[in-house]
Amino acid sequence: MRIAVRVPASSANLGPGYDCMGMALDWFDEVTLTTLDSGIEVDVTGEGSEDVPRDSSHLIVQTFLTGLASLQVRPPAGLRLAAHNSIPHGRGLGSSSAAITAGLLLAWAYAHPQAQPDRQWMERIGTELEGHADNVAAVILGGLAIAWGSAEAGRAVSAPLSGDMRALAFIPHQAVPTVQARRVLPQQVSHADAAANTGRAALLVHALAQRPDLLFDATEDWLHQRYRAQLMPRSAELVTLLRAERHAAIISGAGPTVVVLGTEPMLDELARTPVPGFDRRLLRVGGPAHIVSVAEA
**Which residues sit in the known binding site for ATP?**
88-98
At residue 134, φ and ψ (nearest 5 deg) are: -60, -55
Binding-site entries: 88-98
What is the C-alpha separation between 214 and 41, in angstroms, rounded?
49
Provide the β-strand partners of residue 204.
none
Q: What is the DSSP string of the chain?
A: -EEEEEEEEEEEETTTEEEEEEEEEEEEEEEEEEEESSEEEEEEEETTTTTS-SSTTSHHHHHHHHHHHHTT-PPPSEEEEEEEE-SPTTSSS-HHHHHHHHHHHHHHHHH-TTS---HHHHHHHHHHHHSSSHHHHHHHH-SEEEEES-SSS-EEEEE---TTEEEEEEEESS---HHHHHHTS-S---HHHHHHHHHHHHHHHHHHHT-GGGHHHHT--SSSHHHHGGG-HHHHHHHHHHHHTT-EEEE-TTSS-EEEEEEHHHHHHHHT---TTEEEEEEEBP---EEEEEE--
